[in-house]
Structure 1
Amino acid sequence: MNFLEFVSALFGWVYTICWSLSFYPQAILNFRKKSTAGTTVDFPFLNSLGFLSYLIYTCALYWSPLIRHQYALRNNGHTPTVAFNDVAFAFHALVLTAILNTQYFLPSIWGFEQSAGRKPSRFITGIFTGCITGIILIIFVVASQPQTADPKTSWAWLDVIYVISYAKLLVTVVKYAPQLVYNSRKRSTKGWDISQILFDFTGGLLSIAQLGIDSYLQHDWSGVTGNPVKLILGNVSIFYDLLFMAQHYCLYRDDGLKGNGEREALLERGENGRRLD
């Protein structure tokens, strides 16, 4: 293993650890205050679909001989730039997201106030339903292809995996928006743990760096173009992380002033009926 290979492996595991740690602060904060106040249910709800999609995507590219073969046909014989740490991260993220969802949908088992149980907005529910529908449609299209079809130029199971990955991309693009809007409406980030954003920001930077190093080592940038999910995930996450940091450290840095608790409680009661609907 040369130096760049070592750096790539190091970045891979460090960003995996950072992104994995980002799932704990919010769940721990909710547990400590026995409430999910200050956060929207839209984020964990949509995240569950996103990481289920990402787990399927990474497992297929890492383990499936059929998918890896079809990928090589379309990318100059190169193998996917998905590493085992990507699979490990996706699995861990799905488990932690599922646990976080129980705090919103089953608050009683955590000892939270019963009123803390909420429903996702119609907008987020529509995104969720649309992603599932799109995946089912592409599966039907590929299953209808003749067995003699060339996977390099025709619809193939690799395209199903790509569509599943695009569902993850769409989730990532949308999932932060409700919380950003909610923070803006109550002019506070109270209840939203900024630690998860700092971990996510560091992980995003290292993820992009690893992808670039791996593509350089292959002497072919199809490692980037052939793995758009990893590239775009890192960039989108960084963009949203910067917005959250701006809210927390600049725009609403005095959100602990007296009176915010009352304003947050009022918004909590009112927002449930009109969040991005």
Structure 2
Amino acid sequence: MALIDTSLLSFGEALSAAIGWTYFVAWSVSFYPQIILNYRRKSVEGLSIDFLVYNLYGFACYALFNTAFFFSRSIGDEYERRNNGHKNLVRFNDLFFSYHALILCLITLAQSFYYKRGPTQQASQTARMFFYSTLGGLVAVFLFSTVYSAVYFLSFIKLGCSLVKYIPQAWLNYRRKSTVGWSIHNIILDFTGGVLSFAQLILDAVRSGNITEALGNPVKFGMGLTSIAFDVMFLVQHYVLYTDRFDPSDLETQLQYQSNLNYGSTENSDAGSV
């Protein structure tokens, strides 16, 4: 019986590891299509600047959160004390993914300064308020509470970014009635990663014998559910609602749609978005 249990345990560990690295690959690769698309078009028109700001800020917080939980013994011990002896579920692939994502977010944001964009494509007042208010909150928690609380506050900033970052892009697509400039391959890969991340979290919690442990890592749990919901929305926008693929930054489509060269302009469509 012990042999069977050991075999099942080994299989569960192997399956969890395989799922973890698969979603790591899917999520990691998902950043590249947008970078490539921006490079090919030499333009970021159609891409929300608010989305880029939220993404960069969120992954900076996520990288710091994972670093603290992965390397700090005191943080790990505190987590175990607060969660009935259960170890935290931050793995090496989480750490590697967060820093990889942070670098690619920096590259994408840098493209928005280098390539063509609409005159009103800039970070909204809402995004700036979110940044300053949450950063101020982090400083306050660090000064008046414990380091553990400050680290956990980083996770909630990341979760907040994940909850709101797609809204400006979805609104931009709606106003333009177009998804031109927004890579659908990014969404397909992100959707795959979200499903697998959520599956791994539940699998690990079931294997540990404590299903509530799945809530012990609110970043992974929230990211998985949020990504799935928004990705479905973007897939509907791209494949159902806005199927015209005219791109004014692409010479081939300009020749195809000579009668409608201004379609898909982002002017006056990004500033002020949430």
TM-score by length of 2: 0.89
The DSSP-based 3-state class of the residue aligned with 2:267 is helix
User: Which residue in 1 is equivalent to 2:168?
Assistant: 178
Q: Check 1:95–1:189 CA distance in 2 against 1; reply closer, same or farther (3 A cut).
A: same
Q: Deviations over 1:195-215 (max 9, x none)?
A: 000000000011011111111
In 2, the alpha carbon distance for the partners of 1:94 and 1:117 equals 25
User: Which residue in 2 is equivalent to 1:133?
Assistant: 136
Instruction: Kindly indicate whether the alpha-carbon contact (under 8 Å) linking 2:121 and 2:267 is maintained by their aligned counterparts in 1.
Output: no
User: Which residue in 2 is equivalent to 1:98?
Assistant: 106
Instruction: Kindly indicate whether the alpha-carbon contact (under 8 Å) linking 2:45 and 2:117 is maintained by their aligned counterparts in 1.
Output: no
Q: Deviations over 1:15-39 (max 9, x none)?
A: 0000000110011101001010111
Q: Check 1:91–1:260 CA distance in 2 against 1; reply closer, same or farther (3 A cut).
A: farther
Whether 2:127 is the aligned partner of 1:124: answer yes
User: Which residue in 2 is equivalent to 1:149?
Assistant: none
2:152 to 124, 146, 162: 162
| Structure 2 stretches lacking a partner, 5+ long | 1-8, 247-255
In 1, the alpha carbon distance for the partners of 2:260 and 2:34 equals 19
TM-score by length of 1: 0.88
Alignment of 1:1-277 (within 5 A): 2-105=10-113, 107=114, 112-113=115-116, 118-142=121-145, 156-256=146-246, 258=257, 261-265=261-265, 268-272=266-270, 274-276=271-273
Shift of 1:43: 0.9
The one-letter code sitting in structure 1 at the alignment partner of 2:19 is F
Shift of 1:127: 1.1
Percent of aligned pairs sharing the same letter: 38
In 2, the alpha carbon distance for the partners of 1:212 and 1:186 equals 38
Shift of 1:4: 1.1
The one-letter code sitting in structure 1 at the alignment partner of 2:10 is N
Instruction: Kindly indicate whether the alpha-carbon contact (under 8 Å) linking 2:23 and 2:193 is maintained by their aligned counterparts in 1.
Output: yes
The one-letter code sitting in structure 1 at the alignment partner of 2:132 is T
Instruction: Kindly indicate whether the alpha-carbon contact (under 8 Å) linking 2:43 and 2:117 is maintained by their aligned counterparts in 1.
Output: no
Instruction: Kindly indicate whether the alpha-carbon contact (under 8 Å) linking 1:104 and 1:116 is maintained by their aligned counterparts in 2.
Output: no
Shift of 1:117: 9.0
Instruction: Kindly indicate whether the alpha-carbon contact (under 8 Å) linking 1:42 and 1:175 is maintained by their aligned counterparts in 2.
Output: yes
The DSSP-based 3-state class of the residue aligned with 1:270 is coil
The one-letter code sitting in structure 2 at the alignment partner of 1:271 is S
- Please tell me the root mean square deviation across aligned C-alpha atoms, in Å: 1.8
Shift of 1:269: 2.3
